[in-house]
Amino acid sequence: MKSVTKVINKFLIYIFALILVIFTGYPFLYMVTTSFKSMNDFFLNPFSISLDSMTFEQYVSVFEKGLFNFFLNSIYVTVGSVILVVIISALASYPLSRLNFKLNRPLFLLFIVGMMIPIHATLIPIFIMSNNFDLYDSLLALIGPYVAFALPISIFIFVQFMREIPVELEEAAKLDGAGYWRIFINVIFPNVKPAISTVVIYNFVHIWNEFVFALVLIQSQEEMTLPLGLQKFYGEFSVNVPGLMAALTLASLPIIAVFIFSQERVVRGLTSGSVKG
């Protein structure tokens, strides 16, 4: 009886997984196949995922409209922001997780409170600050807010991992004459690689797809990031759907690569430390 129940449960799980794959896979397949269609083929059968004729004209068109420049801007902003987030959050997390001082807990709670601030409520103050510092319409205007709003969750992740590092490692380093800086570089930082992977992947995905701050702080086409630049593929009275799908396909490739190669690290990094923390 138990074996029959297991078979039925497994069958139901496979059915559910198949339905989930269909619902999640069809939109992606539709996006990719449509990107290889001409406008005439698309209008003849707009919802079909079959390819009667295949053309690369849409991909040539999106690069002619500046997609490569948008791509480079997104890489610059995303990579620069993620590097700063990792460095700053790791340095801030070390004293919060390993050192005992009077304001330890209040400071940590202050960072946690930062996760509850609705980021879009800060658009007007950030816009004013960007103007006052002559950063408006530059990629540097985006890096500041991206780093600031990524710090709370990143510090939370680092602190949970650093708290699990055995104290004996620090004590051994102190016996060898190591100071706090050397302990951080040689002992703490190398032992939080899962946390580094989690912070990098989580923030990379978020910053790569961010649109609202780019819309408010960027005006010129030369400084546009990829999510903002995709607007250029909308016409005033019509939309080149195959061209837009080609742009979206190229824009999604870095995110897909990140999830394919690092999805297990994301899950392990977000859950490890939740038991003790």
What's the pLDDT at 115?
84
CATH label of the domain that carries residue 150: 1.10.3720.10
Q: Is residue 165 part of a domain?
A: yes
What's the pLDDT at 125?
92
Has residue 241 got a pLDDT over 90? no
Q: What is the pLDDT of residues 51-84, one digit of tens each?
A: 777 888 888 888 888 888 999 999 999 999 999 9
Query: Among candidates 64, 66, 79, which has minimal Cα distance to 221?
Result: 66
What's the pLDDT at 258?
76
| Cα-trace Rg, the chain | 24
- Residue at token pair 């999640």: 24
Residue with the larger pLDDT of the pair 142 and 111 = 142
- What span, in angstroms and rounded, lies between the C-alpha atoms of 109 and 132? 31
Contacts of 263 (CB under 8 A, 6+ apart): none
What are residue 234's phi and psi, to 5 degrees?
-100, 130
Residues 147 and 19 in one domain: no
Q: Is residue 51 part of a domain?
A: no
Residues 16 and 85 in one domain: no
Residues 127 and 239 in one domain: yes
What's the pLDDT at 85?
95
Residue with the larger pLDDT of the pair 103 and 123 = 123
Tally of domains in the chain:
2
**Domain limits for position 37:** 2-44
Per DSSP, 165 falls in state S
Residue 268: band (very low, low, confident or very high) from pLDDT cuts 50, 70, 90: low
- Average the pLDDT over each of 4-8, 100-104, 145-149 and give the range with the smallest value: 4-8
What's the pLDDT at 274?
46
Residues 91 and 156 in one domain: yes
Sign of CA dihedral 128, 133, 138, 143: negative
Q: Is residue 277 part of a domain?
A: no
Say what percent of the chain tops pLDDT 90.
Answer: 25
**Average pLDDT over every residue of 212-241:** 82
Residues 146 and 245 in one domain: yes
Across the chain, what does the average pLDDT equal?
84
Q: Is residue 188 part of a domain?
A: yes
Q: Is residue 157 part of a domain?
A: yes
Residues 35 and 132 in one domain: no
Q: Is residue 50 part of a domain?
A: no
Residues 240 and 182 in one domain: yes
- What span, in angstroms and rounded, lies between the C-alpha atoms of 246 and 63? 10
- What span, in angstroms and rounded, lies between the C-alpha atoms of 208 and 73? 10
- What span, in angstroms and rounded, lies between the C-alpha atoms of 90 and 198? 12
Residues 33 and 124 in one domain: no
- What span, in angstroms and rounded, lies between the C-alpha atoms of 111 and 153? 8
What's the pLDDT at 238?
64
3-state secondary structure of 137: coil
pTM here?
0.81
Q: What is the pLDDT of residues 173-209, one digit of tens each?
A: 888 888 888 888 888 888 888 888 889 888 998 999 8
Q: Is residue 120 part of a domain?
A: yes
Residues 152 and 100 in one domain: yes
Query: Among candidates 226, 205, 204, which has minimal Cα distance to 215?
Result: 226
